[in-house]
Amino acid sequence: MTTTFVETLHNGYGQCFTVDELLFEHRTEHQELLIFRNATFGRVMALDGIVQTTERDEFIYHEMLTHLPLLAHGGVARVLIIGGGDGGMLREVLKHPTVEAVTQVEIDQAVIDMCRRYLPNHSAGAFDDPRANVVIADGVDFVRDTSERYDLIISDCTDPVGPGEVLFTSEFYAGCKRCLNPGGVFVAQNGVAFLQLDEVLNTHHRLSPLFADQSFYCAAVPTYAGGLMTFAWASDDPALRQVALDALDRRYRASGIRTRYYNPQIHAGSFALPQYILDAF
């Protein structure tokens, strides 16, 4: 018998999927991990009842949190990924020839292991790349204590409920700032603006005191239901958010990267924010 998965993220509203094949269901040390196959979206991974990634639309999210900051910066050698246990972010970061080393800090080993098994196209071998180094730890502790420095930090976290909550605190953001090289960039998934506007405002108020330039950029990711997904952006160099289209075009072509969502026009346009967000700041 086919069962139905109903997402429990929003109050009184949720997307649902048929579970056409149950692949894995287990309470890990940290959270409830579910992986199933759906006829429309392919394999779907959920944590604590919230959809994290699907085979069909993951490229939009992962490309926007990697190629956009990497090409805006232009010379990223060292990257820190917080979360991202499915490996999709690592896969995209490692496509860049400038990248020399990536540290990924994931709290839950089981997410990495089960996604390698049941969502192999997400990491696509990235965990075996000699430039990749995985650390199983809490991201907040890592950015507070490490002596390493990075050109780009990507927070690929869950929503601010459960283990992901600490990754939206001032303490975490201050740790990230501490670990960035001069000219470095911090980006983070920041929820669906229309339904989670408080998250956008909280992040804005917590990041702004720490960085000279703070904003958001957007993309619609179908399985993050409710409209535009926001991505937080923070750096000390306002010019990085306004790189000219022809420069982005040159860097994009020089990188040799093939994308399915990202392109320089999308990049430039994605910083345009709906008025209801600007008015809320």
Question: 139 and 83 in contact (C-beta within 8 Å)?
Answer: yes
Q: Which among 35, 39, 66 has a CA at the least distance from the CA of 53?
A: 35
Task: Mark 123-162 with x for binding to ligand AG3 (rule: CB under 6 A) and - for no binding.
Answer: ---------------------------------x-xx---
Residue nearest to ligand AG3 (CB): 224
> CB of residue 174 vs ligand AG3: minimum separation in angstroms?
22
Active site residues: 156
Identity of the residue, 175 or 191, whose beta carbon is nearer to ligand AG3 in the bound complex: 191
Residue 57 touching ligand AG3 (CB under 6 A): no
Contacts of 133 (CB under 8 A, 6+ apart): 101, 102, 103, 104
Question: 91 and 124 in contact (C-beta within 8 Å)?
Answer: yes
Question: 44 and 119 in contact (C-beta within 8 Å)?
Answer: no
CA distance 259 to 185: 21
Given candidates 139, 163, 175, 191, which one binds ligand AG3 under the rule CB under 6 A?
191
Identity of the residue, 13 or 238, whose beta carbon is nearer to ligand AG3 in the bound complex: 13
Sole window of 185-193, 203-211, 234-242, 260-268 interacting with ligand AG3 (rule: CB under 6 A): 185-193
Identity of the residue, 53 or 215, whose beta carbon is nearer to ligand AG3 in the bound complex: 53
What single DSSP character describes residue 106?
A: E
The amino acid sitting at 179 is C
Task: Mark 227-246 with x for binding to ligand AG3 (rule: CB under 6 A) and - for no binding.
Answer: --------------------
Residue 48 touching ligand AG3 (CB under 6 A): no
Lookup: tokens for 217: 């950029």
Residue 192 touching ligand AG3 (CB under 6 A): yes
In the chain, DSSP finds a helix count (H) and a strand count (E) of 10, 13
Identity of the residue, 158 or 215, whose beta carbon is nearer to ligand AG3 in the bound complex: 158
Residue 81 touching ligand AG3 (CB under 6 A): no
CA distance 278 to 230: 13
CA distance 122 to 60: 13
> CB of residue 9 vs ligand AG3: minimum separation in angstroms?
6
Identity of the residue, 115 or 248, whose beta carbon is nearer to ligand AG3 in the bound complex: 115
Identity of the residue, 150 or 224, whose beta carbon is nearer to ligand AG3 in the bound complex: 224
> CB of residue 116 vs ligand AG3: minimum separation in angstroms?
13
Q: What is the dihedral of CA 231, 234, 235, 241, to 10 degrees?
A: 50
> CB of residue 239 vs ligand AG3: minimum separation in angstroms?
28
Contacts of 180 (CB under 8 A, 6+ apart): 149, 150, 151, 153, 186
Given candidates 173, 186, 224, 233, which one binds ligand AG3 under the rule CB under 6 A?
224
DSSP-derived pairing of the beta strands 180-192 and 150-156: parallel
Question: 115 and 83 in contact (C-beta within 8 Å)?
Answer: no
> CB of residue 276 vs ligand AG3: minimum separation in angstroms?
17
List residues binding ligand AG3 (CB under 6 A): 9, 50, 52-53, 84, 86, 88-89, 156, 158-159, 189, 191-192, 196, 224
